[in-house]
Structures are given as structure tokens and as C-alpha cells.
Amino acid sequence: MKITHFKFALIALLALAAICAIAGYPVVSPEILASIGVMPMMIGETSFAEITRMIEDQGRAAAEFRAKQIARIDALSDSKQMIEDFMAKMTAPGAGSTGTTEVPPETYYDIKTKKVVPVLNHAQSLKSLEGKQGTMPSVGRLLRGIVLGGRADDANILAEERKALAINSDPSGGYTVAGALSAEWIDLLRANMVLSKAGCRTIPMDTGTLALARVVDAPTISWHAENAALGTGDPTFGAINMKARTVVCLVRLSLELSQDSANIEQMLQSTITNAMSGAIDKAGLVGMTTDALAAPSGIMNLTGRNTVTSVGAPTSWDFLVDGMYELLADNVPADQIGAFIAHPALWKKMAKLKTGITNDKTPLEAPTEVAAIPKLWTTAAPLTSGTTADGIIANWRDLIFGVRKDINVRVLSEAFMGSNLQVAVLAYARVDFAATRVQSFCTLEGITV
């Protein structure tokens, strides 16, 4: 034990001597310390300068290493950003996307404009086609800025944002929203549209019209004998012309509400987009009775569609089985028969059906194939006098929703400010629908609810 203490004391003494030698006050000759391996062979003040130089060299080497590592991390960050930008373009943002990687959209070719036209499903966003846009204000923020104008606390910032986003004003007080923000607005409409959720596909329209081909009849098929004349038949394809039609939304609010409400951005955005999407769904499903020619005609008015009529009061899901059969008989593949769309009144009726067995209150189950079909309930679907509903089942991929890639917003302050201190926001979009194969749709009519 005493030997151990002595060793420790000796080591401490040698360490102290080495430190003093390095500092320039050698207690023991540096040569002696070097000979026993305590310190390198250095003499007097020169040894201290040499150590200082070594430390400085190590510092420079460490700084170079750190700089290289920072550059490497920056390069990895740039690569990560590139990957994130790519994934952002391939992932549906807000219009119902699940966040999974998208398949690139299908494309058509517009022979008039000589441009490729993307065809989007519900999970694919129009905004992603606009490329990287950086941070943008929300649609609600834009609406608040337009309503308040110079009265907004952040009026200067909003004015700069409108300029940066190419939101153009006109002499009558309107704003035309184009580009990425318009695409975001359209994606918000599509996210709320039942027809888009069902599987209807979207085509952005660069002009007011777009010509598409429609399947009129199945091709004529025959077996050919040698030297015999070829059989003739009706044309297989026809043309349909989409024409952008204007849907208008008018929202009125008090000046005080627009200035003082903390959630005015969200309320303006949700109110306008929900109302417009509902109106677009209604026109696409049933058309309009007032100003019918100004709106899309609707699937319920589609000539040549399949029908199941006079269903009456259902006691089972047989009417939906009949509708599926009509589509199958027209060669619509079973796996492409999509959602059934009807008014919530029919859901209430069907949800209350029981098995029919005496004293059995178990709800009636639908056949497996019928149960697998999504049911989308919307007040945009037909309901007559609160008692009679109509539903639609289809291969919804054969319904095309065309939309012009700009939204127009106007503030109508003069019309209401003088009478009741209100402002009004008028927003309108231009849209149309087209069925590329009428046999892919079946209406189920006259369902007593």
C-alpha cells in the first residue's frame, strides 16, 4: 500500500515538473524529462513556442474539418430539400390526399391548343402541377385582405402578396386569382365535392371550351370470310364540347365583423368553398331548373344513361343490385362500379330497415357486393317533396369535371355600405361536366323515403 502511494506521489511530482518546464520555468531539465518519456525533447522557451505552434496547427486542422462537415451537411440538406420538393409535387396536398406518393396524372391532348392536358383523380392536386411556390397566404387570408383593403392592419403585406402572386385587379374592384393560389382554391372546391370523392376526374381548362371524344356505341365486330365485303356499323366515337359555365357565390357581412373577428379568414374560406362546391355538385348531378342553359345539364338529364325506374318504398337493397346489373350488362367492369350517391333521406330509410323476421330488430345487411360500394350522401342529390329520392351509381371515371384555372373575386362595398354598413364578397368560377361514356351511368329513380 505504501509503495502505491509513493508511485502516485512520484507521478504527480513529474507532472508538475513537466508543466513548469512547458511554462518556461524548468525545475528539472527538459532533457531529463524527455529521457524518461515525460515530455518531448525541447529546450527552454523554444519548447513552449513549439507547443504553441502545434496547438495552433491543430486548431486550424479542427476548423478545416468543421468547415468540411458543415459543407457536407449543407449538401445533404439540399438533397433532402430536393427530395421534399419532388415528393410535394407527387403527393396530393389538401384536396383529400392521403399523403402517399401519387401516380403521375393521366394526360389528354387538346388538338386545338396543341397542349397536353392533365386529367386528375380526387387524390391528385392541381396545385402540385404549378411547381414550387414557396410560402403562400391561404385563400381565407386573401379574402380578408380583399374585403378590408387598406383598413387591414397588414394591408401593405397583403398588397405585396397579391403582387407577388400575380393577383390582378381591375377598374371595377375585382381581383383575378390565377396560378398556384387559384389551383389551391380549386383543390379546396374539389376536396368538398361529392362527385370528385366518387371518382370524377378533373381537367383544367386553359380556354373557355374543350373538345373531348365520347364513346357512342361499341365497335362493330364481325368475322371475315375471304374476299367478302366488310360489315358496316354506327360510329363508335362522337364529340362532346365542354363549355365553361359560371357559378357565382355572394357572401354578405358587416364591416364590424370583417374587422374584429379573429376567425374571419377561416369563415370566409370555408363558407365560400363549401357553398360553391355544393352548387357544383348539384349542377353535375341534376342540373338546374332556373337558368338551366347557364349550368351543366346534370347526369339525371343524360340521354342514353341506364335507368331503374319506379323503385317505390324499398324493403331491401334490391334496387341497388338492379342498378349494378344494368352497368354490368353494359360491360362496365365490376371493380370499376363506384360510389352510390343519394340524398341523406335515403340513408335514413335504409338504416332503419330490419331483417323482416318476426320480432327481430337486427338491421338489414346489404349483399356483399352492395356493402362494398361506397355510399355518399349529399343534399345536392335529388329529393322531391321530401318523400321521393333518386340515386346514381356509375363508373365515375367516365365523368369529367372541367374548370378554368382562374377565380374572380369582387368586393361589392358600394351596394351595401350606404344602407346597412355591410360589405359583400362575390366569387365566381367557370366549370362544366362531360360524360365520356353515357352507358357508365345508371339512375335509380322514384325511391320512396
In terms of domains, do 62 and 113 share one? no
Percent of the chain topping pLDDT 90: 35
Q: Are 167 and 176 spatial neighbours (Cβ–Cβ below 8 Å)?
A: yes
- Whether 263 has a pLDDT exceeding 60, the answer reads yes
Q: What is the pLDDT of residue 158?
A: 65
In terms of domains, do 408 and 300 share one? yes
Of 43-47, 118-122, 169-173, 369-373, which gets the smallest average pLDDT? 43-47
In terms of domains, do 29 and 159 share one? no
Residue 210: closest CA among 239, 180, 187, 169: 239
- Which of 59, 87, 115 corresponds to the end of one domain? 87
For residue 321, name the pLDDT band (cuts at 50, 70, 90).
Answer: very high
Q: What is the pLDDT of residue 10?
A: 63
In terms of domains, do 48 and 126 share one? no
Q: DSSP assignment of 250-293, as one string?
A: EEEEEHHHHHH-TTHHHHHHHHHHHHHHHHHHHHHHH--STTGG
C-alpha cell at 91: 403527393
Q: Are 183 and 136 spatial neighbours (Cβ–Cβ below 8 Å)?
A: no
Q: Are 104 and 89 spatial neighbours (Cβ–Cβ below 8 Å)?
A: no
In degrees and rounded to multiples of 5, residue 303 shows phi and psi of -70, 130
- 22 lies in some domain: yes
Q: Are 199 and 151 spatial neighbours (Cβ–Cβ below 8 Å)?
A: no
For residue 349, name the pLDDT band (cuts at 50, 70, 90).
Answer: very high
C-alpha cell at 206: 386553359
- What average pLDDT does the structure give for the chain? 79
Highest mean predicted confidence (pLDDT) among 148-157, 177-186, 267-276 = 267-276
For residue 127, name the pLDDT band (cuts at 50, 70, 90).
Answer: confident
Cα 97 from Cα 439, distance rounded (Å): 29
- Whether 277 has a pLDDT exceeding 90, the answer reads yes
In terms of domains, do 81 and 145 share one? no
Cα 403 from Cα 246, distance rounded (Å): 10
- Whether 102 has a pLDDT exceeding 80, the answer reads no
**Each residue of 364-404: pLDDT tens digit?**
999 999 999 999 999 999 999 999 999 999 999 999 999 99
* 24 vs 423: which has the higher pLDDT: 423
Q: Are 386 and 442 spatial neighbours (Cβ–Cβ below 8 Å)?
A: no
- 171 lies in some domain: yes
- Whether 71 has a pLDDT exceeding 60, the answer reads yes
Mean pLDDT computed over 42-50? 53
- Whether 1 has a pLDDT exceeding 80, the answer reads no
- Which of 42, 58, 87 corresponds to the end of one domain? 87
* 237 vs 280: which has the higher pLDDT: 280
- 93 lies in some domain: no
The DSSP symbol for 294 reads: G
In terms of domains, do 176 and 315 share one? yes
Mean pLDDT computed over 60-81? 70
Q: Which amino acid is at 292?
A: A
> What total of structural domains would you count in the chain?
2
- Whether 24 has a pLDDT exceeding 70, the answer reads no
- Whether 133 has a pLDDT exceeding 80, the answer reads no
| Containing structural domain, residue 82 | 2-87
C-alpha cell at 265: 379568414
For residue 93, name the pLDDT band (cuts at 50, 70, 90).
Answer: very low
Cα 181 from Cα 425, distance rounded (Å): 17
Cα 429 from Cα 178, distance rounded (Å): 11
In terms of domains, do 263 and 382 share one? yes
Mean pLDDT computed over 7-11? 64
* Residue showing cell 380556354: 207
Q: DSSP assignment of 47-95, as one string?
A: HHHHHHHHHHHHHHHHHHHHHHHHHHHHHHHHHHHHHHHHHHHHB--SS
